[in-house]
């Protein structure tokens, strides 16, 4: 048992920190988990990382990877990027590259992997639909073969990166008569393609996501990933490939530290907040939730680097705790502020410039996004505890 990072790992962490310090700007900084690559500045930041080989760590050399790499390197890289509110390097690598490597045709591997590792192309993951949220396998968007092309009709919802992505990684229904898990396939679609219409949706905190409508969108059949009607298996496997993005607890730690600093610096009702016994107990209880989350995170990482082991249960526990912790943290933080807690940005009186208000509103989103708290509990109950299906 050893809770320390190795010297080699610490040296890499230092290198990442130095890189961030040298390259990070206010324009690049993003408040949101995993900061999207939606601006030229953010894309350039990630391209600089790719030039250092940080996107290709651990991937096979024939597709532009570095081959063998330090097992915890991805974790350390994203951990530091999260702390700095910089763009992370998770989604494309974790989902697209891994799925292509395991299941894609040689042609698709050659065409896409090297460009992803150089950060030349951006992706949008398109699974969710209006009637396929938590019940993701209920996706209905049709893809019918017509000659050498699939013809797509339907709608995708909450497609976050669609307004700047080059490609869409899309789940489609290719067999409407099969049981719902058995009739799904994965297609790579150019953005834009004729017949595709984007309609922006604004979230409660102002971040853009999108509805995407498909009206006879034609996609060449060689853009099918892996085998026909095996898409659901690839999608669920890919969720567990997301080791790269698993450092979801770092943002919560950062917010907690910021709250602590604010409490230390603030007087309320004429007295230092830090001397208020109720505030002290609140901070202590939050510290416990945060430390427990950090421990679950590290445990997940330790499991993830074990050969041939997919930490699906640990990741679900991590995901669940993250949602709960964000909610408790942001709610208690605003409570400590009293009425100042409802002041939002740019008003001059808001503690932390109203950031904690955004975090509070977004915490609810974290409890429902990408297998939220309750879906994670279902996974833990069924997979880890072996409880029967409902």
Partner 1 sequence: MDMEFSEEQKTLQSTARSFLSTESPLSMAREMESNENGFSRDLWKKMADLGWFGLPHNEDVGGSGMGTVELVVLTKEMGRSLCPSPYIPTVILAGGAIAAAGNDEQKQCWLPAMISGETVIAFALQEENTFYDARSVHATAVPEGDGYVLNGTKMFVEFATAADRVLVVARTAGSPPETDGLSMFLVDPNDVNVRMEPLNTVARDRQFQMKLDGVKVATADVIGEPGKAWESLEGVIERGVVALCGYMVGASERIHEMATAFAKERVQFGHPIGSFQAIQHYLALSITEIIAADTTTFYAAWTLDEGEPSREIVATAKAFAGDTFRKASDIGAQIHGGIGYDEDMDTTLFLRRGKQYQLSMGDSGFWEDIIAEEILDR
Q: Helices 7-23 and 73-83 meet at what angle, rounded to 10?
A: 40
388 and 226 Cβ atoms separated by less than 8 Å: no
- 151 versus 292: smaller Cβ distance to partner 1: 292
Q: In angstroms, what is the minimal distance from the CB of 301 to partner 1?
A: 7
151 and 217 Cβ atoms separated by less than 8 Å: yes
Q: Catalytic site residue 8?
A: no
11 part of the interface to partner 1, by CB under 8 A: no
Q: Interface residues for partner 1 in 209-268 (CB under 8 A)?
A: 260, 263-264
End-to-end CA distance of the chain: 38
376 part of the interface to partner 1, by CB under 8 A: yes
387 part of the interface to partner 1, by CB under 8 A: yes
Q: Give me the 309-348 binding string for partner 1, x by CB under 8 A, dash otherwise.
A: --------x--xx---------------------------
Q: Measuring CA to CA, which residue among 309, 294, 301, 318 is closest to residue 376? A: 318
How far apart (Å, rounded) are the C-alpha atoms in residues 336 and 333?
A: 5
Question: What letter would DSSP give residue 52?
Answer: T
234 and 184 Cβ atoms separated by less than 8 Å: no
CA-based radius of gyration for the chain: 22
Question: Catalytic pick from 242, 314, 326, 332?
Answer: 242
**Quick one: which segment of 17-25, 78-86, 91-99, 289-297 binds partner 1 (CB under 8 A)?**
289-297
**Quick one: which segment of 3-11, 179-187, 213-221, 340-348 binds partner 1 (CB under 8 A)?**
3-11
Among 298, 312, 368, 370, binds partner 1 (CB under 8 A): 298
How far apart (Å, rounded) are the C-alpha atoms in residues 275 and 161?
A: 45
385 part of the interface to partner 1, by CB under 8 A: yes
14 part of the interface to partner 1, by CB under 8 A: no
302 part of the interface to partner 1, by CB under 8 A: yes
Q: Measuring CA to CA, which residue among 137, 50, 127 is closest to residue 87? A: 50
Q: In angstroms, what is the minimal distance from the CB of 49 to partner 1?
A: 23
293 part of the interface to partner 1, by CB under 8 A: yes
Spatial CB neighbours of 284, under 8 Å, sequence gap ≥ 6? none
Spatial CB neighbours of 390, under 8 Å, sequence gap ≥ 6? none
- DSSP of 122-136: -EEEE--BTTBSSSG
145 part of the interface to partner 1, by CB under 8 A: no
How far apart (Å, rounded) are the C-alpha atoms in residues 117 and 139?
A: 30
329 and 255 Cβ atoms separated by less than 8 Å: yes
CA–CA–CA angle 245, 212, 194 (5° rounding): 115
- 144 versus 291: smaller Cβ distance to partner 1: 291
Q: In angstroms, what is the minimal distance from the CB of 292 to partner 1?
A: 4
Q: In angstroms, what is the minimal distance from the CB of 2 to partner 1?
A: 5
- 133 versus 195: smaller Cβ distance to partner 1: 133
Q: In angstroms, what is the minimal distance from the CB of 263 to partner 1?
A: 7
Q: In angstroms, what is the minimal distance from the CB of 277 to partner 1?
A: 8
Q: In angstroms, what is the minimal distance from the CB of 287 to partner 1?
A: 5
3 part of the interface to partner 1, by CB under 8 A: yes
**Quick one: which segment of 11-19, 340-348, 356-364, 377-385 binds partner 1 (CB under 8 A)?**
377-385
296 part of the interface to partner 1, by CB under 8 A: yes
Q: Measuring CA to CA, which residue among 188, 211, 213 is closest to residue 200? A: 211
Exposed / middle / buried, residue 59 (Cβ in 10 Å: 0-12, 13-18, 19+): buried
How far apart (Å, rounded) are the C-alpha atoms in residues 387 and 379?
A: 10
- 6 versus 197: smaller Cβ distance to partner 1: 6
Looking at the annotation, which residues are catalytic? 242
Residues that bind partner 1 (CB under 8 A): 1-6, 9, 72, 260, 263-264, 274, 280-281, 283-285, 287-288, 291-293, 295-296, 298-299, 301-302, 317, 320-321, 374, 376-378, 380-382, 384-390
């Amino acid at each position: 048992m050893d809770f320390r990072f190795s010297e080699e790992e610490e040296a890499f962490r230092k290198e990442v920190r130095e890189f961030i310090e040298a390259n990070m700007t206010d324009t690049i900084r993003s408040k949101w988990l995993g900061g999207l690559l939606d601006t030229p500045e953010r894309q350039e930041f990630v391209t600089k990382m790719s030039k250092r080989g940080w996107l290709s760590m651990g991937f096979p050399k024939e597709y532009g990877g570095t081959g063998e790499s330090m097992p915890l390197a991805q974790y350390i890289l994203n951990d530091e990027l999260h702390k700095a509110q910089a763009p992370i390097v998770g989604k494309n690598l974790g989902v697209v590259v891994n799925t292509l490597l395991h299941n894609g045709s040689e042609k698709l591997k050659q065409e896409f992997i090297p460009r992803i590792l150089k950060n030349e192309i951006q992706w949008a993951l398109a699974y969710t639909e209006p009637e396929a949220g938590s019940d993701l396998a209920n996706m209905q968007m049709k893809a019918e073969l017509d000659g050498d092309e699939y013809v797509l009709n339907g709608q995708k919802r909450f497609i976050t990166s669609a307004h700047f992505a080059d490609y869409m990684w899309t789940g489609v229904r290719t067999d409407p008569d099969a049981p719902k898990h058995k009739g799904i396939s994965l297609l790579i679609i150019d953005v834009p393609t004729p017949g595709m219409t984007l309609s922006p949706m604004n979230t409660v905190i102002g971040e853009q996501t999108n509805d995407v409508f498909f009206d006879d969108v034609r996609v060449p059949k060689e853009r099918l990933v892996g085998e026909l009607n095996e898409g659901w298996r690839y999608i669920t496997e890919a969720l567990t490939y997301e080791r790269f993005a698993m450092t979801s607890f770092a943002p919560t730690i950062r917010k907690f530290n910021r709250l602590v600093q604010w409490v230390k610096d603030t007087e309320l009702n004429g007295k230092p907040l830090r001397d208020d016994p109720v505030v002290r107990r609140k901070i202590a209880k939050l510290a416990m939730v945060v430390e427990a989350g950090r421990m679950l995170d590290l445990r997940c990482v330790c499991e993830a680097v074990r050969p041939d082991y997919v930490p699906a249960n640990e990741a679900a526990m991590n995901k669940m705790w993250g949602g709960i912790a964000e909610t408790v943290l942001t709610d208690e933080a605003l409570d400590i502020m009293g009425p100042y807690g409802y002041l939002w940005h740019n008003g001059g009186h808001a503690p932390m410039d109203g950031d904690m208000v955004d975090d509070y509103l977004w915490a609810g989103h974290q409890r429902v996004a990408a297998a939220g708290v309750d879906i994670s509990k279902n996974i833990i109950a069924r997979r880890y505890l072996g409880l029967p299906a409902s």
